[in-house]
Amino acid sequence: MNPRPRRLKLLRFLPNGWLATEGPAEDGKTLYLTFDDGPHPEFTPPLLDLLAEHDAKASFFLIGREVERHSALARRIAAEGHTLGNHSYSHPIFDALTLPQQLDEIERTEQLLRGIDGRARHAFRPPRGVLTFPMLARLVSRRHRIDYWSYDSLDYSRRPVPELLETIQRVPPRGGDIVLMHDDSEHSLTLLRELIPTWKAQGFDLRALPHLH
């Protein structure tokens, strides 16, 4: 297991205006937590409670149909100072769709997120990290930022938490890293109960990625 697979290293060569793999350069002591696949009525609320307990902010890349089902929870995420991101409407296998279908997945979710936080646009993160060149080109032409990640927590693997913690401790995140996590299971919550106090003790701030302008 490697939190920094080769694909992430290759993506860093793309211009940051096209695809963000690192957060804004602050003082070298900032981590950007990001959560995919929510909002989830069972797992997102305790995660929000944990973040509030530690005065931590994060970015939530939400699935449109889950926003429809749990709009009050999406509003809570925004109200507590976290950034909303677009993770498609139905989390399909993106490279099996035509470009118009991909864009429709993005736009349907944009409309829902706009109704939650009032912002015109939200950074997009493709399901499963699948990037197709036509979609990348279209979003670049629209100046619609794609937020990827630079550090993979591997929480979706559902491996035992002690095993994941050992991996994270062996290859820890660095300042500026965008950390990929998910809020559709207990795994991220259990991991972060251990990790957030450790990272804070090391002097890291936990911040949300910036909104699109």
Q: For residue 182, indicate whether it is catalytic.
A: yes
How many Cβ atoms sit within 10 Å of the Cβ of residue 141? 8
Q: For residue 183, indicate whether it is catalytic.
A: no
The catalytic position among 40, 82, 182, 187 is: 182
Selection from 180, 173, 121 nearest residue 148 by Cα: 180
Rounded (10°) CA dihedral 128, 133, 135, 139: 110
Selection from 195, 129, 206 nearest residue 164 by Cα: 195
Residues taking part in catalysis: 36, 182
